[in-house]
Amino acid sequence: MALMNGIFYVAIGGALGASGRHLVSLWAGRSLGAGFPYGTFIVNVLGSLLMGLLIGWLLTREGGDNLKLLLATGFLGGFTTFSAFSLDAINLLERKAHSPFLLYVGGSVIIAIFALWVGLIIARKVWG
């Protein structure tokens, strides 16, 4: 039953976060133009800031597991997965795990971009 409760919190938060990301992207496209991915940039930076504030606040509280599932995993995960990436990177830095930090950050960015590019090439060959 606890698993189902957790999934419920993540699902509700994720739906709200993804909806928020969509609204920010629409606003940014209309207000700032389509020449730069302003919407994605804004949600990545804002989501990372909010993740830091939320986790910092939750660390001062007892319990809060459902709130973390709703807001951190669900809402901010749906708003931007970059916030979870940023939290993981900071956790590595705070543990003074400098080599794993560099590998994680550099590898995630470079390999993820490369993987997307490979996926596009495959998709274009198969369906294009």
CA 116-97-108 angle, to 5 degrees, is 0
| The model scores a pTM over 0.85 | no
> Which tens digits make up the pLDDT trace of 116-127?
899 999 999 999
pLDDT digits (tens, 9 = 90+) for 27-55: 999 999 988 989 989 999 999 999 999 99
Q: Residue 70 to residues 1, 38, 39, 63, 103: CA-CA distances in angstroms? A: 16, 26, 23, 13, 30
Range of the domain at 115: 96-128
Q: Is residue 107 part of a domain?
A: yes
Alpha helix segments (H runs only) across the chain: 2-32, 38-58, 65-67, 77-79, 82-94, 98-127
Assigned domain for 53 exists:
yes
**How many domains are contained in the chain?**
2
Residues 15 and 55 in one domain: yes
Residues 67 and 126 in one domain: no
